[in-house]
């Protein structure tokens, strides 16, 4: 099976799934097609809606004589008149709801293979959120057992193994791990329909996160039964790739219209607040006067358009790096979504492992929850563990001000420096920011309102107070204008300082980006800076006459050149910032070719997507430098796709 990562924003990702019936770009919504009631036909879905994949229930086909015969004879694609990817479900949900227990787990998998399903599903055991640990354990054990048994009958059909375990995090993780160890292709997260129906999005977050923690990151994850656009952004943020739903049709039958921000009864609408092809050519009045059947069809069209549209919105957010902003905006649509958003704070540690080094889009403050994004936590942690303060005795702090800080406070910095050697920080939303880091992501690339929410103010204050206790400067004071200068002149005998913003910037960015000590590559060397004529920003850093680093204007981080990597190797011992590949692929990288995930044998666990790294062979010899698309666990799991995009190499 092929599942290839193309673009990402944290766990949210755009991938390409290849099946026998073509490619599916994910995130994807697979509309549920009930072959007994075709509200919208699969042919229409393909031609008018651009649907690449749909899902149908093999159990219904198997139990409807006429459908079964045709499906076994001509295949499920022919029955549905659809030549795209067809996924089939096994009847688990029906078995659970109607309690019939009449489906044979082996038979239903074999049947799916026999009718030519592209992705079949095992007969997992549905685990209710209310299940006790014992009940959920049984659901997990039987599900895993059936997954193993299904291997013998699946043929060359791709197989989906749903993660069960109710609300028991450790069971979800175990189920996910045991299924990942099998040669399966898709991992739905099952047992969540009751959570979706009762708006228990906070529990949904826990279930997805615990499942993801146990799953092989290279496998597509499907959220079973999620078909309301309201949950797509949140679920994608947590790493879900596929959705399925009958809601577009079910809601339509009840005269309910789906929107990305919620659901409305047609009867309550004055006009149609939508520009989909259906709504553009119809009015509320016309809809109300239609026959029930015609109206259901029209509303189903609108609902499907809305769902597919929201998937596109999500994809664009991943592309530009604004999935968090989208999730935080959408969370305002429903109080329970907001509650779920707040619950994400508990999982920052996990989310941070996939958090990109920087983003194309600026960090937009959307509300107090923005403070709990992994980007904020990472900045603070790195500042605390990686940043090395300059050796001055005096620290001068500034209140938050216009960006870039070094320009805003230039007058004050110069005035202080004329009198004494000092360092400078700004009390920012992200925590204490040394002025030399004012262009580093996300400091410059952020938009924060002047007045933040009170709870954020408190958190910011706590971080600054913590800094005040541990900064290590003999004298620290806040800048309060001329008075501060006079105070310093009285306190300390004058001798002009050596504050050199450029040099401090290079050193601080090296430490923050590559690890504590990376800045030492500048020590005792001849450093030349090439600056932009237009902006005055550092462009290139030459060390002993060799081009070692380039600074990106977009995120204030360095693009590593081979010469810079050679120096970093001397100050950062393995495994720091290294991606290890077998020797042959390393030689291939040496010639300027990208490094594919399947050739990666080891990787520094601190490496994040978007990091500039060193590609080395099994002997630890440098082959190339480049930018990662994955973190360690992904590089080791993915069998396809690029792990490191090579930017500079020897040959």
Residues of this chain that bind ligand GUN (CB under 6 A): 89-90, 92-93, 121, 124, 126, 162, 190-191, 193, 224-225
From the CB of 161, what's the least distance to ligand GUN, in Å? Answer: 10
**Exactly one of 8, 110, 302, 632 binds Zn ion (CB under 5 A); which one?**
302
- Tokens linked to 128: 């209710």
Of the candidates 9, 89, 114, 244, the residue annotated as catalytic is: 89
Give the bridge partners for 265, in sequence order: 256
- Tokens linked to 336: 């329970």
From the CB of 125, what's the least distance to ligand GUN, in Å? Answer: 8
| CA pair distance 525, 642, nearest whole angstrom | 35
Q: Which does 302 bind (CB under 5 to 8 A by kind): ligand GUN, Zn ion, none?
A: Zn ion
Residue 105 or 519: the one with the smaller Cβ distance to ligand GUN is 105
From the CB of 212, what's the least distance to ligand GUN, in Å? Answer: 16
Does 546 sit near Zn ion (CB under 5 A)?
no
| CA pair distance 555, 321, nearest whole angstrom | 13
From the CB of 189, what's the least distance to ligand GUN, in Å? Answer: 8
Q: For 445, which DSSP code?
A: S
Q: Which does 126 bind (CB under 5 to 8 A by kind): ligand GUN, Zn ion, none?
A: ligand GUN
- φ, ψ of residue 417 to 5 degrees: the values are -65, -30
From the CB of 343, what's the least distance to ligand GUN, in Å? Answer: 22
131 Cβ contact partners less than 8 Å away, ≥ 6 residues apart: 139, 166, 167, 168
Q: Which stretch of DSSP H or E encloses residue 65?
A: helix 65-74
* CB neighbourhood size of 27 (10 A): 25
Q: Which does 276 bind (CB under 5 to 8 A by kind): ligand GUN, Zn ion, none?
A: Zn ion
User: Quick check: 575 and 604 in contact, CB under 8 A?
Assistant: yes
User: Quick check: 542 and 530 in contact, CB under 8 A?
Assistant: yes
Residue 93 or 365: the one with the smaller Cβ distance to ligand GUN is 93
Question: Catalytic annotation on 89?
Answer: yes
From the CB of 261, what's the least distance to Zn ion, in Å? Answer: 13
Q: List b or e across 282-315, with b for residues whose CB sees 16 or more CB atoms inside 10 angstroms.
A: beeeebeeeeeeebbbbbbbbbbbbbbbbbeebb
| CA pair distance 61, 57, nearest whole angstrom | 7
| CA pair distance 467, 425, nearest whole angstrom | 11
For the sheet with 527-531, list strands across it.
527-531, 538-543, 546-551, 558-560
Residue 247 or 322: the one with the smaller Cβ distance to Zn ion is 247
Residue 274 or 463: the one with the smaller Cβ distance to Zn ion is 274
244 Cβ contact partners less than 8 Å away, ≥ 6 residues apart: 29, 30, 31, 32, 55, 87, 89, 222, 224, 225, 226, 227
Residue 187 or 507: the one with the smaller Cβ distance to ligand GUN is 187
Residue 32 or 646: the one with the smaller Cβ distance to ligand GUN is 32
- Tokens linked to 254: 């009840």
| CA pair distance 353, 106, nearest whole angstrom | 38
Residue 330 or 403: the one with the smaller Cβ distance to Zn ion is 330
From the CB of 60, what's the least distance to ligand GUN, in Å? Answer: 13
Residue nearest to ligand GUN (CB): 190
Which residue is it, tokens 């050739």? 599
Q: Which does 259 bind (CB under 5 to 8 A by kind): ligand GUN, Zn ion, none?
A: none
Q: Which of residues 231-290 bind Zn ion (CB under 5 A)?
A: 274, 276, 279
Q: Which does 193 bind (CB under 5 to 8 A by kind): Zn ion, ligand GUN, none?
A: ligand GUN
Question: Binding residues for Zn ion, how many (CB under 5 A)?
Answer: 4
Three-state DSSP class for residue 440: coil
How far CA 281 is from CA of 44, 60, 254, 589, in Å, comes to 18, 35, 21, 55
Residue 197 or 312: the one with the smaller Cβ distance to ligand GUN is 197
Q: Which does 434 bind (CB under 5 to 8 A by kind): ligand GUN, Zn ion, none?
A: none
Q: Which does 162 bind (CB under 5 to 8 A by kind): Zn ion, ligand GUN, none?
A: ligand GUN
Rg (CA), the chain: 28
From the CB of 550, what's the least distance to Zn ion, in Å? Answer: 48
Q: Which does 274 bind (CB under 5 to 8 A by kind): ligand GUN, Zn ion, none?
A: Zn ion
Q: Which of residues 378-397 bind Zn ion (CB under 5 A)?
A: none
Q: For 73, which DSSP code?
A: H
Q: Which residues are catalytic?
A: 89
The footprint of Zn ion (CB under 5 A) covers 274, 276, 279, 302
């Amino acid at each position: 099976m092929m599942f290839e990562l193309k673009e990402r924003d944290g766990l949210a990702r755009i991938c390409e799934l290849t099946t026998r019936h073509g490619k599916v770009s994910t995130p994807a919504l697979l509309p549920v097609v009930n072959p007994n009631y075709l509200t919208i036909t699969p042919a229409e879905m393909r031609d008018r809606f651009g649907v690449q994949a749909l899902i149908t229930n093999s159990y219904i086909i198997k139990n409807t004589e006429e459908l079964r015969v045709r499906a076994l004879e001509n295949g499920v694609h022919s029955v549905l008149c659809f030549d795209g990817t067809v996924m089939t479900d096994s009847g688990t949900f029906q078995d659970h709801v109607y309690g019939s227990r009449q489906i044979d787990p082996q038979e239903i998998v074999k049947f799916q293979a026999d009718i030519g399903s592209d992705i079949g599903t095992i007969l997992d055991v549905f685990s209710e959120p209310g299940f006790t640990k014992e009940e959920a354990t049984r659901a997990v054990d039987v599900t895993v057992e059936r997954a193993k048994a299904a291997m013998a009958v699946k043929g060359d059909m791709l197989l989906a193994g749903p993660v069960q375990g109710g609300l028991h995090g450790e069971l979800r993780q175990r189920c996910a791990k045991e299924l990942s160890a099998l040669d399966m292709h898709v991992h739905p997260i099952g047992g969540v329909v009751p959570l979706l129906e009762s708006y228990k999005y906070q529990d949904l977050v826990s279930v997805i996160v615990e499942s993801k923690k146990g799953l092989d990151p290279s496998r597509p994850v499907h959220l079973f039964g999620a078909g309301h656009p309201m949950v797509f952004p949140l679920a994608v943020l947590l790493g879900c790739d596929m959705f399925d739903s009958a809601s577009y049709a079910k809601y339509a039958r009840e005269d309910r219209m789906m929107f990305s921000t919620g659901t409305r009864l047609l009867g309550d609408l004055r006009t149609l607040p939508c520009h989909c092809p259906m709504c553009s050519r119809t009015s509320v009045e016309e809809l109300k006067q239609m026959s029930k059947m015609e109206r259901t069809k029209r509303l189903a069209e609108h609902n499907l358009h809305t769902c597919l549209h929201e998937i596109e919105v999500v994809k664009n957010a991943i592309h530009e790096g604004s999935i968090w902003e989208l999730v935080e905006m959408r969370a305002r649509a429903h109080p329970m979504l907001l509650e779920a958003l707040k619950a994400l704070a508990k999982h920052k540690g996990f989310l941070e492992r996939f958090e990109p080094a920087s983003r194309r889009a600026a960090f937009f403050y959307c509300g107090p929850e923005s403070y709990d994004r992994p980007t904020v936590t990472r900045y603070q942690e790195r500042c605390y563990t990686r940043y090395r303060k300059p050796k001055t005795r005096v620290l001068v702090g500034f209140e938050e001000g216009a960006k870039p800080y070094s320009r805003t406070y230039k007058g004050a910095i110069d005035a202080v420096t004329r009198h004494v050697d000092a360092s400078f920080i700004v009390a920012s939303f992200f925590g204490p920011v040394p002025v030399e880091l004012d262009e580093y992501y996300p400091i410059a690339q952020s938009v924060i309102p002047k007045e933040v929410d009170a709870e954020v103010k408190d958190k910011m204050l706590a971080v600054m107070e913590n800094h005040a206790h541990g900064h290590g400067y003999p004298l620290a004071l806040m800048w309060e204008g001329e008075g501060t200068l006079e105070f310093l002149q009285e306190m300390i005998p004058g001798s002009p300082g050596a504050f050199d913003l450029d040099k401090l910037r290079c050193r601080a960015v090296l430490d923050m980006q590559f690890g504590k000590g990376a800045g030492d590559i500048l020590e005792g060397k001849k450093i030349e800076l090439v600056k932009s004529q237009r902006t005055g920003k550092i462009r290139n850093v030459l060390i002993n006459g060799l081009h070692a680093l380039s600074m990106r204007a977009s995120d204030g981080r360095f693009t590593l050149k081979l010469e810079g990597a050679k120096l970093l190797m001397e100050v950062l011992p393995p495994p720091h910032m290294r991606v290890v590949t077998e020797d042959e692929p390393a030689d291939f990288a040496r010639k300027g070719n990208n490094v594919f995930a399947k050739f990666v044998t080891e990787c520094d666990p601190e490496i994040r997507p978007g990091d500039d790294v060193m590609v080395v062979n099994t002997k630890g010899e440098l082959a190339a430098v480049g930018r990662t698309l994955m973190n360690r666990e992904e590089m080791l799991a993915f069998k396809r796709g690029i792990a490191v995009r090579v930017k500079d190499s020897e040959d």
